[in-house]
A and B are shown apart, each in its own frame.
Chain A
Amino acid sequence: MLPLSIKDDEYKPPKFNLLRKVSGWFRSILADKTSRNLFFFLCLNLSFAFVELLYGIWSNSLGLISDSFHMFFDCTALLAGLAASVISKWRSNDAFSYGYVRAEVLAGFVNGLFLIFTAFFIFSEGVERALEPPDVHHERLLPVSILGFIVNLIGIFVFQHGGHGHSHGSGHEHSHSLFNGGLGHGHSHGGHGHSHEHKHAHGHTHDHGHSHGHSHGQDYCHGDHSLEEMGGSSKQILQGVFLHIVADTLGSIGVIISALLMQNYGLMIADPICSMLIALLIGVSIVPLLKESIGILMQRTPPSLENALPQCYQRVQQLQGVYSLHDPHFWTLCTDVYIGTLKLLVAPDADGRWILSQTHNIFTQAGVRQLYIQIDVAAM
């Protein structure tokens, strides 16, 4: 019997030993610049969290311990991004015939969701605090928030750097980064929020800094495994990411301002208002990301094709011998990879091959990468 697919022999059941697997992951992480960066950030974060945890246990401060748990939670988002960047490079196999590229979208979605949760919690906390402002120990707030701001600025700088790269090269790095990057920022804020939230328990202010750290870290990850050249949408995405970072920076400026206000004027209300603002910023900045990723996951017609498609349909219908066109489905596989299926009803005497190649041509020009056209011959 003929093999089902040529790759059958390559597809081995995963029965490696653990060590080999792990080293393989390492290699694949380190092979790629973006995932490498992500990985380093993760390590940095984790080591911070561990230091915090150890210090907390040593000094027996519950606040520090719980804060480090928060940081671990933050790290999971980072981990999700990293996992996605590794997974998305796996080869396609029989079961996943498109490969795992969608993992990126999924990771972006998950991160966005986490951010929304975080924002929601911060917001509710802020409202609670606005109603009855608690006593906040703000001695350590200012240095930590300034640290956070600096990290944020670094993030912006890095992002702009990435932008340059972008301009030279292929665009979607950004889009990818968007997908994985979402969470980062948010957390940073989240971090603020948290730190504020339980300022009474001493340590946690720490999380500002770190949180920022990862946030941006992700922005420029994923840069390199751009699969194809950019589509029109990535400009928007670029803007989105940039806005996002700006929002972050604004957030940390807000923290600094509130710290100053609290320190110098004793305006305790500044803290909840700031955290509410930050939560709102996170929420607003995350909405486009969520919308986009939900659209992709729901097999929406790509917004960038929405306008081009009707023209294409028209052109196809004007081809000689084409009666009608039905069941058009166009969707996004991952950023900038569009897939379409189409059924054409053609005259019995039409040249199917010519129609096929013409249609392919038309849609390829519109930016559809993979097209499946079923040609049905009309009954006489």
Chain B
Amino acid sequence: MEEKYSGQALAGGGLLGPVDVPSARLTRYIVLLCFAKFLKAVGLFESYDLLKAVHLVQFIFIVQLGSAFFMVLFQKPFSSGKVVTKRQWIKIFKHAVVGCIISLLWFFGLTLCGPLRTLLLFEHSDVVVLSLLSVLFTNSGGGPAKTRGAAFFIIAVICLLLFDNDDLMAKIAEHPEGHHDSALTHVLYTIIAFLGVADHKGGVLLLVVALCCKVGFHIASRKLSVDVGGAKRLQALSHLVSVVLLCPWVIVLSLTTESKVESWSSLIMPFVTVIFFVVILDFYVESICSVKMEASTCARYGSFLIFISALLFGNFWTHPITDQLRAMNKPPHHESTEHVLSGGVVVSAVFFILSANILSYPSRKGQKGTLIGYSPEGTPLYNFMGDALQQSSQSLPRFIKESLKQILEEYDSRQIFYFLCLNLAFTFVELFYGVWTNSLGLISDGFHMLFDCSALVMGLFAALMTRWKATRIFSYGYGRVEILSGFINGLFLMVIAFFVFMESVARLVDPPDIDTNMLTPVSVGGLIVNLVGICAFSHAHSHGASRGGCHLHDHSHSHHGHSHSHGHVHSHSDHGHSHGHSHGSSAGGMNTNMRGVFLHVLADTLGSVGVIVSTIFIQQFGWLIADPLCSLFIATLIFLSVIPLLKDACQVLLLRIPPEQEKDLHAALEKIQKIEGVISYRDPHFWCHSASVVAGTIHVQVVSDVMEQRIVQQVTAILKDAGVNNLTVQVEKEAYFQHMSGLSTGFQDVLAMAQQLESMKYYKDGTYIM
């Protein structure tokens, strides 16, 4: 927290200053910054070690005391600058109080989740956090890049929270009952315990909160620092005040509790390093660098380096070699297992680096205004009305709101959405129940369902995208997305069916032991979800118009069965779900598709019934073979039900004449042939772009003395009757070919074209001879 103000007080200089500083001059500042950040990482690791021996409040007191001492020494806040008024003193006092609380939170988080995680979470510069918050909570986010950055950030925090299995060892190794001696820490512990999370996770949450507080605090104190006469002076004064503040507490503490420190003198060196590295050096270097460079550049390099060095130290700090290198003869600690590097931490570090990079990148756009260019003098011009122009990049909540509105607008997407919600709810119940009862089978099943939901999400997205307007690039509109997503889902189902089939064959050969206790309730639940799906679906069916909405139902059931069955293995569990998604997109509003989807859902339900039946068989009669047989059956059902879907989708994708309009089109072509003045037609191509768009092209040869426009109109009318709504008719008279051959360059091209057509077997008509 000590680098406060670095961004703000000097932001004016940093953001608006000359932008094109030659990079060569910046290099030494970057090096300096990197060095300072590296040392800061060292300091934090050191202070973690110190905190094991020294009480938290005492530690903060000493650090504040030391930094106040040095800052006062350097800055001379009393002898230089304006006189501080009484009102300002009160403000400084408030500032110091808040600062103390934040540093308390910070260091408490440090004791909870270790230096590496603290560095990862807390060392984000204000620029990054501000743009993260602005992406999340306002609508001037600044484009998809920022949104991506914010997503990365959130993923990183979640990784740290969920996938970092650090707490086990940490809890065993050092649940510091000794630290409970202070009322404050006790309160914090109680709060964390109340939240029901492990210490380590509590620490992560605490640090995120502290980070947000820090940024808010920096912004709030920006004005004060200007009033007082610079960030440095404010900093010095505030340190001083907080020393005074903490003093009574520390005295009380040291009177009431016995210290665990054997010799304070041996701690002087480490304390000095901490004070210098973490507070003073970092503060000064940050402020210099943010004057010389832009705050965003500063943030980028700084956070990158500090994360990297944190990772390095996290790996090597407790290594024997570093123990030797360190001069400090700290109290011996053997728990080299605590807060180790885990996969989750590495992943989240990578994500943090990415997000810090992205989020700090285009910050020259500014949070309030957008950069519109540079004036002739070289100063950047900002547009503070930018929000109105930035419709393309919306903030997350607004985006969610709008897409929700869009989803609910139409029947099919609404259906999908409700189903998705149902499924997700089911999944989460399952997950929570699994976590609660600590059943690995349920948890892995829940994750599988989550994965299945991704198919649903795709269906939903496709349903939304279908409604996008045609653009210059996608000139026919996005209707095809529906078909594509149906196709993808179908393929996906096929793959799953294949794997299930294989698995069940393997199980047929030697049926494994299955624990059936959980099976029935969960699969019944799945069946119910499924039945709801069928109801919704058949409803839609009867309406007719709605296409493909529902699909999603089934996921739930089948896999339950499986997952349970081999909770330990969790690989193949995915039977059931798969079906669900498939249907969604495929049905392009065509009746056949609707029927197919409906049958499909029916088959799914049968599958989940099959799981239940197999459970009953196993429970009642002990026929273990029933499970693989059932899955075999299910796999075959899936397979069979997917085939028509895939066939339809393939036909559309291969540009087949829409089967249900084939007859009409033939009749229409005959009619065209009979129009007065038409000699013949060639290359009639009709294809279904999406459910609603049938495109067609045709060349019509006419005798030379007929009105072209009349022919075009007649042909268009005839074909429109046949259902073609995107038609292009090219009317050719004999003279056309003479014209073509008359153009010398054109002739070559046309000749090439003709050859190409020939080789493609397009050549179907004798009249196409020049």
- A residues bordering B, Cβ < 8 Å? 1-2, 4-7, 62, 65-66, 69, 73, 76, 91-92, 94-103, 106, 110, 113-114, 117, 127, 130-131, 227-228, 294, 297-301, 306, 327-331, 333, 337, 339, 341-343, 352-354, 356-358, 360-361, 364-365, 369-377
- State in angstroms the CA–CA spacing of A113 and B343 once bound together: 28
Can you identify 6 A-B contacts, CB atoms within 8 angstroms?
Answer: A97-B657, A98-B685, A228-B756, A300-B474, A331-B476, A377-B709
Stretch in B35-43, B192-200, B589-597, B757-765 touching the partner: B757-765
Q: From B473, B476, B480, B654, give the contact of A96 (CB < 8 A).
A: B654
- For B488, what are the chain A residues with a Cβ–Cβ distance below 8 Å? 113
Within 8 A of A (CB), among B333-380: 342-344
Inter-chain contact A97/B686, CB cutoff 8 Å: yes
- State in angstroms the CA–CA spacing of A327 and B728 once bound together: 9
B163 to chain A, nearest CB (A): 8
Within 8 A of A (CB), among B477-525: 478, 480-481, 484, 488, 491-492, 495, 498-499, 502, 506, 510
B536 contacts partner chain A, Cβ-Cβ < 8 Å? no
B706 to chain A, nearest CB (A): 12
Considering the complex, give the chain B residue whose CB is closest to the CB of A341: B728
- State in angstroms the CA–CA spacing of A297 and B690 once bound together: 11
Q: Which one of A106, A297, A301, A331 has the highest number of Cβ atoms from chain B below 10 Å of its Cβ?
A: A297
- B residues bordering A, Cβ < 8 Å? 163, 165, 342-344, 472-476, 478, 480-481, 484, 488, 491-492, 495, 498-499, 502, 506, 510, 650, 653-657, 659, 662, 666, 669-670, 673, 683-687, 689, 695, 697-699, 708-709, 712, 726-733, 735-736, 739-740, 742-743, 745-746, 749-750, 753, 756-757, 759-762, 764-766
Known A69-B506, A95-B656, A301-B473; further 18 A-B contacts with Cβ < 8 A: A4-B670, A95-B657, A96-B656, A98-B687, A99-B762, A103-B654, A327-B728, A329-B726, A341-B697, A342-B728, A352-B708, A357-B736, A360-B740, A361-B746, A364-B753, A372-B730, A375-B731, A376-B709
Leading 4 A-B pairs by shortest Cβ distance: A357-B739, A341-B728, A361-B746, A364-B749
- For B726, what are the chain A residues with a Cβ–Cβ distance below 8 Å? 327, 329
Inter-chain contact A131/B506, CB cutoff 8 Å: no
> Provided the pairs A130-B343, A374-B712 are in contact, do residues A357 and B654 lie with their beta carbons within 8 angstroms?
no
> Provided the pairs A103-B654, A113-B491, A228-B756 are in contact, do residues A298 and B481 lie with their beta carbons within 8 angstroms?
yes
- For A91, what are the chain B residues with a Cβ–Cβ distance below 8 Å? 761
Inter-chain contact B761/A365, CB cutoff 8 Å: no
Inter-chain contact A102/B653, CB cutoff 8 Å: yes
Q: From A127, A299, A365, A371, give the contact of B480 (CB < 8 A).
A: A299
Inter-chain contact A369/B756, CB cutoff 8 Å: yes
Inter-chain contact A99/B740, CB cutoff 8 Å: no
Considering the complex, give the chain B residue whose CB is closest to the CB of A57: B509
Inter-chain contact B760/A99, CB cutoff 8 Å: yes
- State in angstroms the CA–CA spacing of A113 and B484 once bound together: 12
Inter-chain contact A66/B506, CB cutoff 8 Å: yes
- State in angstroms the CA–CA spacing of A300 and B480 once bound together: 10
- State in angstroms the CA–CA spacing of A110 and B699 once bound together: 34
Q: From A92, A228, A306, A353, give the contact of B739 (CB < 8 A).
A: A353
- State in angstroms the CA–CA spacing of A337 and B759 once bound together: 12
Inter-chain contact B765/A6, CB cutoff 8 Å: yes
- For B650, what are the chain A residues with a Cβ–Cβ distance below 8 Å? 106
B760 to chain A, nearest CB (A): 5
A58 to chain B, nearest CB (A): 14
> Provided the pairs A96-B655, A127-B343 are in contact, do residues A329 and B476 lie with their beta carbons within 8 angstroms?
yes
- State in angstroms the CA–CA spacing of A343 and B695 once bound together: 14
Inter-chain contact B165/A98, CB cutoff 8 Å: no
Q: From B491, B708, B761, B766, give the contact of A92 (CB < 8 A).
A: B761
